[in-house]
Every structure is written in C-alpha cells, then in structure tokens.
Amino acid sequence: MNTEKDQNKALNKADVSKSALKFEYGFNSVNGIVKKQYYLHEIPNIKDKCDVWNVLPIVYVRQFTGFKDKNGIEIYEGDWISSAPGYCSYVKFKDGAFLSIYSHPEDGEELLITDLHLPYVEIVGSVYDND
C-alpha cells in the first residue's frame, strides 16, 4: 500500500529527474552572446519563458553535465576545462556520456568526466567563446 510518505518520495524523485536535465541556449546579439538556461520540463513552453526567443537568432544549445568546477560554476558541453597545469580539454557528449577530450594531438585522450578529479577542474572557456 502506498503511503503519503512513499508518494512524496516518488514526487521528489520526479522533481530531481526534471531538474537534472538542463540546457543552455546561446543567442547572438550586437553585444555578444546572451545565455539562457532552461530545465528539460520548461522547454515545451520555451517561447513563453524566453524573452529573446523570437528576437535573437540561436547560436548554440548545450547540455549541463550535472557537475560543477572547483569554483562552483556549472560545466556544460562545449566548455574548455583545465584539470591540472598544462592540461586542457573540452567537454563533449558522445555515446551517451560526457567526455573530457584532450586537445593535444599526440594524446587525443578521451576520459569520462566522472573520471576527472572534479575538485581540481576549472572552466577556462567555451568552444563558443569568440576569444
């Protein structure tokens, strides 16, 4: 028999699963990229929620990995990250997982983002930055 406590647990799990999938939309403006983040459950009504949806062109859409860097900044697909001095990689979603892909041509190593020492990882840029 389902108790109220069991139903609340089920609702909490549903809330967690809704909030776990988050996307960032980048819109092109004369002042640079305007970034807007939305959870998966918000996307069906995105035109009502996003004040620039019909005004600015979309440059990119990228997914939140579920992890934050050492400064508490959310890590998204397409971010450049540094896990140690001299080691820089970018985050890519491939084959159902987020990978850290090192840019060094000799290494070309791909690691699951969960295999990194996340307390030391820092975002240093994005593949969408114009710098």
- The number of C-alpha atoms within 13 Å of 90 and in the hemisphere containing its C-beta is 14
pLDDT at 8 over 80: no
Give all domains of the chain, ordered by start, each with its CATH number: 4-126 (2.30.30.290)
pLDDT tens figures, 56-92:
999 999 999 999 999 999 999 999 999 878 788 889 9
Rounded to whole angstroms, how far apart are CA atoms 99 and 74? 15
pTM over the 0.85 mark: no
